[in-house]
Amino acid sequence: MTISITSPCPQITINELGIRQWPIWACEPSNFSWTYHEKETCLILEGAVTVTPYGGDPISIDAGDLVVFPQGMSCTWEVHKAIRKHYRFDN
């Protein structure tokens, strides 16, 4: 399972996907495990995080990145700087 990152996310993509209308999620610096039961697409507005898929290599994610997490992936999040992101879940 692969995490897809577009860095930086082009403004045209933000407009085409209607990302500014998506909900916002925020998290202070912390470490936690997560499993994606649905595919998640998100635009990082602020912050920095390292996501490590179980059995995979760490991925650094920063403000301005458009990230797609695949359905079924389990990982750990290490939030270095408080995160704010627009997000959308898809089946």
Tokens for 45?
């507005």
Helix (H) or strand (E) holding 56: none
Contact 11, 64 (CB under 8 A): no
Whole-number pLDDT of residue 43: 98
Phi and psi for 14 in degrees, rounded to 5? -60, -45
80-89 per-position pLDDT tens digit = 999 999 999 9
CA distances from 64 to 19, 46, 73, 86, 91 (A): 12, 8, 22, 11, 24
pLDDT at 41 over 80: yes
| CATH T-level assignment (fold) for domain 4-90 | Jelly Rolls (2.60.120)
Coil, strand, or helix at residue 74? strand
51-80 per-position pLDDT tens digit = 999 999 999 999 999 999 999 999 999 999
Whole-number pLDDT of residue 91: 73
